[in-house]
Structure 1
Amino acid sequence: METYYIKHITKYVYDHPVLDAANQIRLHPINDEFQQVISHYLIITNNAHVQTHTDYNKNVVGSFMITDAITELYIESNIEVNTFKKELPQDTIPPNNQWKELENLKYTEPYVNFLIHRPFTGTNDLSAVIANKNIKQKSVFQALLELCDYVFNVIKYTKGVTNVNSSIDEVWSLKAGVCQDFTNIMLQMVRMCGIPARYVSGYICPNDDITRGEGATHAWIEAYIPFYGWLGFDPTNNIIGNENHVRLAVGRDYNDCAPVKGVFKGNATADLFVKVHVSKAKQNEETLELPETPMSSTKNNSYKRHLERIQQQQQQQQQA
């Protein structure tokens, strides 16, 4: 068993006051047999009240609204969690039986939701890699290990060249990116093989063997192995996702797992600052310094864009 103490700060700074900031958060850690949440509390601007519900993927989703005018939105999540090591597949079942079982599952819930893959500029390249590796001649577990290793080696870990909105085509063209990009490429490959795979958002505890993903939320995949269940694979570090990984949410892609997303009323630029600290030792009243430069800067917001579309439609109807 491992015990982790996690502080995760998200801060939006607006260059003009905004109103009615409505937000959705997936910052509540998963609580199951492999991950036991000891404590979790949130600190949010204006002491906003958070209502929670469970989504289709069994994630706890929080929502809150701040009606007052604000120039800053601060969200702090504090977690104490125990994680437990998962026994790995014994791999004693013949590969043919494993692949047949996947074929039987591909139209059933929830697996069908995690098999959808869309063609992109690298599809032919990945198909060739899958064929050359004779993936379906191997056990599903061994196939996943090889795919994880391939993505780890073909994509260069480079901060700042992509963001959460970068397409998989952009990532493949650059052959570079961060954890989300490694994850998206591996998701594509695994699903192309007919193995259900889901996106995982969470945190990682760096050590001598794990050096990538510190300071922000981390991403990896979980793949379904017949006669075993779901198992995590972290292509950014080329390791099994196990007791060093703390899970926040799972889903089809990043949109299903985004830690924070929301809308507001106002014509403003929002600068986003994020800092995460993961430790094995409890730090009393620990203060985190946010980065000097924002992770991203966005003009406008989805509320205003939606409003503009409505206004355009109304004008067109009036002209007609």
Structure 2
Amino acid sequence: MPFLTLSHVTTYTYKQPVSFGEHRIMVRPRESFDQHLLEATLTIDPEPSDVRWLQDVFGNAVAIATFTRHGSRLTIDSKVRVQHEPGDVQHVDIEEYARSYPFTYSSEEMPDLLRSIERQHLDPQREIDTWARRFLNLEGATDTLAMLTAMTTAIRREFTYVPRAEKGTQTPIETLRRRKGTCRDYAMLMIEAVRALGFAARFVSGYVYSPGGGRDSRKGGGNTHAWVRVYLPGSGWVEFDPTNGIVGSEGLIRVAIARDIYQAVPISGTYEGFPGSFLDMEVTVDITVDPPVPSHSPLTTASPVENREPIRC
């Protein structure tokens, strides 16, 4: 039951003062049965004239900040404390009818899953389809969870992880052909691959950490991370991280869930200034895992505290 302290700081710098337009900020972790938000503070400099919170169509917490002040620097600093209780992947309990592939979602669930099954990228040569079908057992029934696990670990094993600071995502076909990419590229490839097989899948943006407290054992740390959720009857949405070969939510903190990557951008906004004003964007994510409590010591649970100014989350 790790307790985490998470700091996510994004800083934009400019050659001279600019005016800031509306900014949409999605960095607050989601509350769920396996992750509990204990504290959350969002600090923005220069201070916005107004900040309002909303839940988007997927239930993600979004802060909308508007500004009247100018500045040559914009800093968005999110600090949270989370209690994380990831479930054991061995306890993924899939309904009997869905344990072997292929299967069809129930008539009650299908209407709500359809948009998450629809393909989002063109595949005229059926390259993604062909690659996805390599994980099927052609001589008999295919174990659903084993097949999805094999796809997850194959991406981690066969592709080269290359961090990329530039905006944008490779198309799934580009990632498949190049055999390299970032966590977001891998996530979009796997989403399209499982959708090609008829599964409902969603994009997840959040953070990755090493449960043991190490800093370098998992790829994607020090920044926001991306992975996949696949809907499995009986267990609901199950996490698959193809960058690290993780099945389940151990070491993964969800912030945003969406049908497509463009719906889960952590921070987006506009500014007005002279051409070429923008200099740089720097992102720092630091996660500290509390040391385990000795077995002879009583376990205490941190209580939620009131969020501090200048912005209440």
Does the TM-score normalized on the shorter chain lie above 0.5? yes
Is 1:76 matched with 2:77?
yes
Query: Within 1, Cα distance between the matches of 2:199 and 2:77?
Result: 36
Q: CA deviation at 1:118?
A: 3.5
Query: Within 2, Cα distance between the matches of 1:143 and 1:163?
Result: 33
In the alignment, structure 2 segments of 5+ residues that lack a partner are 292-313
Q: CA deviation at 1:281?
A: 3.4
Query: Within 2, Cα distance between the matches of 1:191 and 1:92?
Result: 19
Q: Per the alignment, do residues 59 and 29 of structure 1 end up closer, same or farther by CA in structure 2, a change over 3 Å counting?
A: same
The aligned counterpart of 2:261 is: 254
Query: Within 2, Cα distance between the matches of 1:56 and 1:226?
Result: 22
Alignment of structure 1 residues 71-110 onto 2, 5 Å: 71-87=72-88, 88-91=91-94, 93-95=96-98, 99-102=102-105, 104=107, 107-109=110-112
Alignment of structure 1 residues 215-226 onto 2, 5 Å: 215-226=222-233
Query: Within 2, Cα distance between the matches of 1:135 and 1:107?
Result: 25
User: CA deviation digits over 1:27-76, x for unaligned, max 9?
Assistant: 11101211100000011012324210111000011010122221111001
Query: Within 1, Cα distance between the matches of 2:121 and 2:12?
Result: 35
Q: CA deviation at 1:92?
A: 6.7
Deviates more, 1:150-159 or 1:96-105: 96-105
Query: Within 2, Cα distance between the matches of 1:245 and 1:14?
Result: 33
Is the Cα–Cα contact under 8 Å of residues 197 and 222 in structure 1 kept in the other structure? yes
Structure ranking higher in helix proportion? 1
Q: CA deviation at 1:227?
A: 1.9
The aligned counterpart of 1:126 is: 128
Say what the alpha-carbon RMSD is for the aligned residues. 2.5
What is the letter of the counterpart of residue 12 of structure 1?
Y
Alignment of structure 1 residues 163-182 onto 2, 5 Å: 163-168=166-171, 169-182=173-186
Q: CA deviation at 1:138?
A: 1.9
The aligned counterpart of 2:295 is: none
Is the Cα–Cα contact under 8 Å of residues 22 and 66 in structure 1 kept in the other structure? yes
Q: CA deviation at 1:20?
A: 3.4
Aligned residue for 1:16, secondary structure, equals strand
What is the letter of the counterpart of residue 92 of structure 2?
P
Query: Within 2, Cα distance between the matches of 1:95 and 1:108?
Result: 18
TM-score by length of 2: 0.81
Q: Per the alignment, do residues 32 and 228 of structure 1 end up closer, same or farther by CA in structure 2, a change over 3 Å counting?
A: same
Is the Cα–Cα contact under 8 Å of residues 86 and 248 in structure 2 kept in the other structure? no
Alignment of structure 1 residues 116-195 onto 2, 5 Å: 116-120=118-122, 124-134=126-136, 137-160=141-164, 163-168=166-171, 169-195=173-199
Q: CA deviation at 1:120?
A: 4.2
Taking only the aligned residue pairs, the percentage that are identical comes to 24
Q: CA deviation at 1:77?
A: 0.4
Alignment of structure 1 residues 38-57 onto 2, 5 Å: 38-48=38-48, 49-57=50-58
Aligned residue for 2:46, secondary structure, equals helix
Q: CA deviation at 1:181?
A: 1.1
The aligned counterpart of 2:68 is: 67
Q: CA deviation at 1:144?
A: 1.2
Is the Cα–Cα contact under 8 Å of residues 155 and 186 in structure 2 kept in the other structure? yes
In the alignment, structure 1 segments of 5+ residues that lack a partner are 283-320
Query: Within 1, Cα distance between the matches of 2:124 and 2:12?
Result: 35
TM-score by length of 1: 0.79
Query: Within 1, Cα distance between the matches of 2:168 and 2:115?
Result: 22
Moved over 4 A (4+): 94-99, 119-123, 207-210
Number of equivalenced pairs:
280
Query: Within 2, Cα distance between the matches of 1:225 and 1:89?
Result: 9
Query: Within 2, Cα distance between the matches of 1:103 and 1:143?
Result: 21
Is 1:233 matched with 2:240?
yes
Q: Per the alignment, do residues 76 and 96 of structure 1 end up closer, same or farther by CA in structure 2, a change over 3 Å counting?
A: closer
